């Protein structure tokens, strides 16, 4: 995985996954693995997926978010999406995930 695509930080029961660059099928697989490992180790109360630095996200990025929502729900962890672009907001709304957008 290109380390520039994901940065993880943990503080006060919040795991923040900051994504950047292009999120496609290949990068989404590696990002998913790293986020899931951190969820199991840290067991935060909230997972924040920050997509403010994402230049491009196709359906794989949406799948990444949906999959993390399912995984987080299994573990009793809330999920929020931070800093979505207007295009990402449209994608999230079409998928019925706009409730996850952090205000």
Please give the DSSP secondary-structure letter assigned to residue 100: G
pLDDT tens by residue, 23-55: 999 999 999 999 999 999 999 999 999 999 999
Give the pLDDT confidence score for residue 102 in this predicted structure: 87
What does the angle CA 102 – CA 73 – CA 99 come to, to the nearest 5 degrees? 30
Domains of the chain: residue spans and CATH: 3-100 (3.30.750.24)
Give the pLDDT confidence score for residue 15 in this predicted structure: 98
Give the pLDDT confidence score for residue 3 in this predicted structure: 59
Strand partners, 21: 54
State pTM to two decimals.
0.92
The CA distance from 89 to 17, in Å, is: 18
Beta strand pairing call for 46-57 and 14-23: parallel
């Amino acid at each position: 995985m290109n380390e520039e695509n994901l940065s993880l930080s943990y503080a006060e029961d919040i795991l923040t996954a900051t994504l950047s660059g292009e999120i496609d099928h290949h990068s989404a697989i590696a990002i998913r693995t790293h986020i899931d490992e951190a969820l199991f180790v840290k067991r935060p109360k909230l997972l924040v997926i920050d997509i403010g630095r994402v230049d491009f996200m196709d359906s794989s990025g949406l799948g990444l978010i949906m999959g993390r929502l399912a995984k987080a729900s299994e573990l009793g962890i809330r999920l929020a999406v931070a800093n979505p672009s207007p295009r990402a907001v449209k994608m999230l709304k079409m998928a019925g995930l706009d409730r996850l957008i952090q205000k």
